[in-house]
Amino acid sequence: MKENNIDNNILRLSARFQRVFYEKIYPQINVGRLEIMRYSFLVMTLLAWGVYICLCVLFYGSEPFYVFSFVGLGIVFSLYSYLARFYKTEVKKKYYQSIVNIMGLEWANKSQKELDSYIPEINKCKLFMHASHIQEDDIIYGTFQGVNLKISDARIIDEGYETKNSSEKHTPTTIFKGIIVYFDSNKKIESTTLIKPRIDSTKFLSVLSNGWIYLMLLFWTLFGGFLFFASIAVAIIDKKLPHLGLMMFGLSFFLGFGYWFVSSVILRERNHLKGLQKVNLEDVNFSKKYNAYSYNQVEGRYLLTTAFIERFTYLAWAFKNNSLRCSFVGDKIIIAIPSLKDSFEIGNLFVPLSSPKAVRSFFNQIASILYMVDYFKLDEKTNL
């Protein structure tokens, strides 16, 4: 792969955006006011930490210490979270529209009601298990080189299994957090074709966000197995018949909670991919990192060309993330880039808006996504 050539093209596109930013947008930004706000919030956070530490030392060894240490810690983190969110909202509300306009695009936030209209589309793309809600922030949308697109920082939530019996639904779980990119395709795609990483980081995110349930299931599975095998071992040592009630009690726990655990973590993913055929690709190195699936093998191979794989691999390299996934479905091409941190941020409490590194990183991220349009050639209405 000619990474250097692709990288240079993206950097040139990014540099063009940065030049316009510094010439037309930056002079309009009230940097002094933002810096005063940023430093004030940092001082408030540091003072809160200082008061918390002093009170912990003062009350150490007394009865209120343990309660105060947890409650106070929560108050300090809540204060920091509120101030950081307020600062980011202030920057976005005043300047992000103008910044995104540099690329000929728009910026917005949408209400939950509007966002839930995307749920059928998200479920159809097969990149995630059943999605119930989607929360999006920093939505960049519009037309670039004749192609309609949307880029968003998103969180997808699953409320539980798709069952008619609502009592079987599980606790809401975050199944994806990161960037989702939608490209309009000028060619109708008949069958869903997708690429998913062999090691899926979103599975670990799902387990972590709902970890207490999985730990509980695993605990009772192991507990049941222990009772079952321990009752047999004791019977063998004592040369007596095993305690039938204890053995059956342990076996029922082992099988029941064990099946629940396996079903939640493993079987559900298999059911999610039911009906899809695995597409064998010629690129051996790519196949070591990703699996490709399609309802139609012929169309799957037609879409997943060597040129596409080369560009997709570069995108993963540019984001330093091998957990990317992509879906060709209907009239859309959807790319999902998992990330636990907020994307598309020029500044925050610890990084000033004037930071060249932050500005460069922001535009490099956008440019690396927009450069995908050049590969797809969708504005020329080709057949991908």
Q: Tell me which of 42, 70, 102 is where a domain ends.
A: 102
236 within a domain of the structure (yes/no):
yes
**How confident is residue 159, by pLDDT bands cut at 50, 70 and 90?**
low
Q: Tell me which of 271, 291, 308 is where a domain ends.
A: 271
Range of the domain at 50: 1-102
Per-residue model confidence (pLDDT) at position 155: 82
Q: Tell me: pLDDT of 132 over 80.
A: no
Per-residue model confidence (pLDDT) at position 223: 76
Tokens found for residue 256: 């029941």
Chain centroid offset of residue 221 CA: 30
**How confident is residue 165, by pLDDT bands cut at 50, 70 and 90?**
very low
| Mean pLDDT computed over 145-149 | 84
3 within a domain of the structure (yes/no):
yes
| Mean pLDDT computed over 286-295 | 87
**How confident is residue 331, by pLDDT bands cut at 50, 70 and 90?**
confident
342 versus 204: which is more confidently predicted?
342
Per-residue model confidence (pLDDT) at position 374: 66
5 within a domain of the structure (yes/no):
yes
Share of the chain above pLDDT 70, in %: 72
Question: Which of 61-70, 105-114, 338-347 has the lowest average pLDDT?
Answer: 105-114
111 within a domain of the structure (yes/no):
no
Per-residue model confidence (pLDDT) at position 14: 83
pLDDT, tens digit (0-9, with 9 covering 90-100), for 56-109:
888 776 767 767 777 888 888 888 888 888 888 888 888 888 888 888 888 876
| Mean pLDDT computed over 26-39 | 86
| Mean pLDDT computed over 102-121 | 67
337 within a domain of the structure (yes/no):
no
Question: What is the number of structural domains in the chain?
Answer: 2
188 within a domain of the structure (yes/no):
no
202 versus 192: which is more confidently predicted?
192
97 within a domain of the structure (yes/no):
yes
**How confident is residue 182, by pLDDT bands cut at 50, 70 and 90?**
confident
Per-residue model confidence (pLDDT) at position 263: 59
Q: Tell me: pLDDT of 307 over 50.
A: yes
Tokens found for residue 298: 């012929």
321 within a domain of the structure (yes/no):
no
Contact (Cβ atoms closer than 8 angstroms) between residue 370 and residue 176: no
Per-residue model confidence (pLDDT) at position 273: 67
Per-residue model confidence (pLDDT) at position 164: 44
189 versus 75: which is more confidently predicted?
75
86 versus 199: which is more confidently predicted?
86
Q: Tell me which of 56, 76, 102 is where a domain ends.
A: 102
Tell me what the pLDDT averaged over the chain comes to: 76
